[in-house]
């Protein structure tokens, strides 16, 4: 974001007629706009978000001969968004990226389930569940380092982050994680792993992929 804002300071200036200085200048503006809007979409996943909605309105009629003005407007949005991100007022790129990575891992776990490879699926799903739960705890300022999963689940339930039903499902997922970690393969079955995968997907969608 800082690099984009620095580039914008050079691109936002037009010629004496209030237009881009050249076709190359317009193309450079178009490239910058694509990068800036991509960042806005990463931070603001909801279409109704004001930053996202405003950036789309600015570009509603395409990138024209006053593209430098569009750069200026979007740069102002980006600067304000950067401030909000620092203050924790929007979901972080880190959480969003981690959520996408977690989805990939869970896809692998689900593939192992289809191949009846319960142990491998349980190991992957359990790790993703624990990492997701601990990130959610940090998001809600719950101390999680060296704290057992069952205790963390109870703390999230007290904050109403997890309902009673979800807390029960979380403990079932934690069971898979614990048993897979200690290679106690007979202590869980494929249905337990499937439930762990499904519940972890829900956690990620509701808490980390915002």
Which residues of the chain are under the pLDDT cut of 50?
none
65-83 pLDDT per residue, tens: 999 999 999 999 999 988 8
CATH fold for domain 93-208 = 1.20.120
pLDDT at 42: 79
Stretch(es) of the chain classified as CATH 1.20.120: 93-208
pLDDT at 84: 82
Rg of the chain (C-alpha set): 23
pLDDT at 57: 94
Transcribe 144-162 into DSSP letters. -TT--HHHHHHHHHHTTSS
- The pTM of this model reads 0.56
pLDDT at 82: 87
pLDDT at 202: 92
Query: Of the candidates 98, 136, 128, which has an alpha carbon nearest to the alpha carbon of residue 112?
Result: 128
The answer to whether 194 touches 125, Cβ cutoff 8 Å, is no
Sign of the four-CA dihedral 185, 186, 187, 191: positive
Q: Tokens representing 152?
A: 């963390």
Q: End-to-end CA distance of the chain: give it in Å, rounded.
A: 19
Percent of the chain at pLDDT above 70?
Answer: 91
Residue appearing with tokens 């869970």: 106
């Amino acid at each position: 974001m800082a690099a984009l804002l620095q580039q914008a300071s050079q691109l936002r200036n037009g010629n004496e007629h209030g237009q881009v200085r050249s076709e190359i200048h317009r193309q450079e503006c178009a490239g910058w706009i694509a990068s800036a809007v991509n960042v806005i979409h990463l931070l603001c996943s909801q279409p109704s978000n004001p930053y996202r909605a405003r950036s789309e309105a600015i570009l509603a009629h395409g990138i024209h001969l006053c593209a430098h003005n569009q750069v200026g407007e979007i740069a102002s949005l980006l600067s304000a968004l950067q401030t909000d991100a620092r203050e924790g007022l929007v979901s972080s790129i880190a959480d969003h990226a981690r959520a996408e990575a977690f989805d990939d891992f869970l896809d692998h776990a689900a593939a192992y389930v289809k191949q009846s490879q319960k142990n491998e699926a349980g190991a992957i799903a359990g790790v993703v569940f624990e990492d997701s739960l601990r990130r959610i705890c940090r998001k809600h300022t719950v101390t999680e380092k060296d704290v057992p999963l069952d205790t963390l689940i109870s703390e999230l339930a007290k904050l109403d982050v997890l309902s009673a039903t979800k807390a029960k499902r979380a403990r079932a997922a934690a069971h898979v994680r614990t048993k897979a970690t200690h290679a106690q393969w007979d202590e869980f079955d494929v249905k337990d792993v499937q439930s762990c995968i499904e519940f972890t997907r829900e956690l990620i969608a509701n808490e980390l992929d915002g």
